[in-house]
Amino acid sequence: MSLHEKLISESIGKYVYNKYQVSNEDLNLLFQQTRKEFEGDVTLVIFGLTKLLKLTPPALGAELDEVLTAIEFEGACLVRSTNLVQGFLNISLSDAYWLSRLKANRLELPKTGKRTVVEYSSPNTNKPLHLGHIRNNLLGHSVSRILQAAGDEVVKVQIINDRGIHICKSMVAWQKLGKGETPESTGLKGDHLVGKYYVAYDKVYREEVAQLLAKGVSEEEAKANAPILQEAQTMLRQWEAGDAGVKALWETMNNWVYSGFNATYERLGVSFDKNYYESNTYLLGKDKVLEGLKKDVFYRKEDGSVWADLTAAKLDQKVVLRSDGTSVYMTQDIGTAIERYQEWQMDQTIYVVGNEQDYHFKVLFIILDRLGYDWAKQCYHLSYGMVDLPSGKMKSREGTVVDADELINEVIAGAREKTLALGKLDTSSTAEQEALFAQIGLGALKYFILKVDPQKRMLFNPEESIDLNGNTGPFIQYSHARIRSILRKAEALNLLPAAPWTQPETLEPTERVLIQHLVGYSAVVLEARDKLSPAVVCQYAYDLATTFNRFYHECHILNEERAEIKLFRLNLVGLTADALKQALYLIGVEAPERM
């Protein structure tokens, strides 16, 4: 509840108690944002109150108008006026109230004392990062910044899926087809080179399955007995048994991939406080599964595999150890969750993982709870929708994924083309221009992806994202650059810092709306935290930029003749720059000084 809603609620509560002997517990006052076609800053829904007090809406509206316009805030009236539309009382707050809130406004929120671990990225080491990973990383990094802004201590982690059948497939294909290729000998990034052999594996596998089918083998048997799959499965068993040769090849190829991943992370501007590796955590997971087996949390089937029976939770049965004793993803996730809590003692864990894993995380949290870990109830799966392109769905095994590095290059090239077409960078050095193109291109990519609610599936259009107009990152970046230009001109005229603080007796309509947006920053951060949605911040940044541009066109700033109004508006411009830059920071977008 906002400050003005609290003050209004308290005043109405006192009034109805003194006149009608109705307690505050019975009021249930409901506020909502005033619709654009009506005058007002906040609307009180009075249908319930009219029934409770047995008054008509006009009669109650008249009484409440007297009550609300009499409220004082810091020596001035809180409410300027009210207007009733059926059962909705639209309330306009005074300019003095908004000016007071603006002067006291802060972008930093108090610390909560709460520690939150956010897990994101979590790639497999058999292929490079792709468009889906980009959405994952941007969501995880932005959510981490939002939680920090809301006062949490945040630990950013990733679990690297560096073992299992997937990496063995790339390893086998490299052994059979690679002829000793390395990133250095090919000029390929390490993750791209390993991904090349994951695709090559699938090609060989399909050919071998087709050959078995031609010999009259059933489809099920052909898929299970393809020679290259048998080799990969043997390699996985050798790895878990500690075979020195397999381990050496595994370490070499994984290091190629890590180098490639880190280069992409650096370009995206994302980072981690701690990396966890499945090759380490799966051992703890196996131990906990075996402990749970003794306590009847799990059961063993005749083939030796270990399962969790989740039918009582209206789910299915889930394997946690294969019949040959090797681990599955669930085993690793159990171990990782336990190891992480032992290290961080966090109050909350947020897993940023696509919605195709919804079932997996339901199972994981139930298993952790059954194993006796109370903190399992504070684990949350931030489930997000997949990303599509105009060209269609991605398929990693067929090599048709949208590579993250190629997409980054594409948006930067688009930013370069559109910015040069405007002809405003002629005095900038080549290095400055290239840095700006990267800022704009990545800002376009990040904003376009994050402005969509995480739970929704989305269509990413690189061309549309780079537009300098409309609801895009570059439009907001340009608005910030325009603001910074105004402030540089003011500084050249010795008008900055614009002190002492001055304020007018009355506000222009666009000044008022701009102040309301600035004052609302903290509420936006808290809403984004509660919803775990950077889209809330994106909408705020767009609304703030749009409102500022309207203010810029309707109100004189540097050309204002009244000195005190000029200084007030310069303060307003500076506060807008700060809020816009901070909002962009929360979504990982840089705010250029010039564009």
Distance CA 495, CA 536 (A): 35
For the chain, give the percent of residues with pLDDT over 70: 98
Residues belonging to the chain: 595
Q: What's phi and psi for 249, nearest 5 deg?
A: -65, -40
Does the structure show a pLDDT above 90 at 259? yes
Q: What is the mean pLDDT of residues 82-106?
A: 94
Residue 22 is which amino acid? V
Domain CATH for 312: 3.40.50.620
Instruction: Report the C-alpha dihedral over residues 140, 144, 146, 149, rounded to 10 degrees.
Output: -170
Per residue in 390-437, pLDDT tens? 765 444 444 456 889 999 999 999 999 988 888 777 677 889 999 999
CA angle (265 as vertex; 261, 270 as ends), nearest 5: 145
> Where a domain ends, among 229, 245, 272?
272
What value does the mean pLDDT of the chain take?
Answer: 93
Quote the domain boundaries for residue 73: 3-93
Total structural domains within the chain:
4
Q: What is the reported pLDDT for 28?
A: 86
Local confidence band at 554 (pLDDT 50, 70, 90 cut-offs)? very high
Distance CA 65, CA 81 (A): 7
Residue where a domain stops, chosen among 93, 113, 132:
93
At residue 390, φ and ψ (nearest 5 deg) are: -55, -25
Q: Convert the pLDDT of each residue in 135-185 to its tens digit.
A: 999 999 999 999 999 999 999 999 999 988 999 999 999 999 999 999 999
Residue 41 lies inside a defined structural domain of this protein? yes
CATH of the domain at 572: 1.10.730.10
> Which one-letter DSSP state was computed for residue 223?
H
Nearest to 115 by CA among 333, 348, 317: 348
Q: Where are the beta strands (DSSP E) in 232-376?
A: 274-277, 299-300, 306-309, 317-321, 348-354
Pairing of strands 42-45, 88-93: antiparallel
CA–CA gap between residue 568 and residue 572 (Å, rounded):
6
Q: Around Cβ 300, how many Cβ atoms within 10 Å?
A: 12
Q: Which two tokens stand for residue 252?
A: 């070499």
Instruction: Based on the fold, state whether residues 414 and 394 are members of the same structural domain.
Output: no
DSSP 595: -
pLDDT score of 391: 65
For the chain, helix (H) and strand (E) counts, in that order, are: 22, 16
Q: Which two tokens stand for residue 251?
A: 């370490």
pLDDT given for residue 397 in this prediction: 43
The mean pLDDT of 306-325, rounded to a whole number, is 94
Which of 402, 437, 472 corresponds to the end of one domain? 402
Q: Are residues 280 and 267 in the same domain?
A: no
Q: Note the pLDDT tens digit of each residue in 180-201.
A: 999 999 999 999 999 999 999 9
pLDDT confidence tier of residue 324, bands split at 50, 70 and 90? confident
Residue 440 pLDDT > 90: yes
- Stretch among 227-241, 247-261, 496-510 having the lowest mean pLDDT: 496-510
CA distances from 314 to 358, 369, 380, 432 (A): 14, 16, 19, 58
Q: How confident is the model over 465-470, as a mean pLDDT?
A: 84
Mean pLDDT for the stretch of residues 497-511: 86
Both ends of the chain: CA-CA distance in Å? 39
Q: What is the pLDDT of residue 1?
A: 84
Angle in degrees, 0-180, between the axes of helices 131-149 and 430-450, rounded to the nearest 10:
90
Q: Can you tell me the mean pLDDT for 278-291?
A: 93
- Asked if 89 and 46 touch (Cβ cutoff 8 Å), the reply is yes
pLDDT at residue 27, rounded to an integer:
86
Rounded average pLDDT over 98-102: 94
Would you call 478 helix, strand, or coil by DSSP?
helix
Phi, psi of 363 (to 5 degrees): -65, -45
Residues 132 and 280 in one domain: yes
Task: Specify whether the CB–CB gap between 371 and 289 falls below 8 A.
Answer: no
CATH for 8: 3.30.1360.70
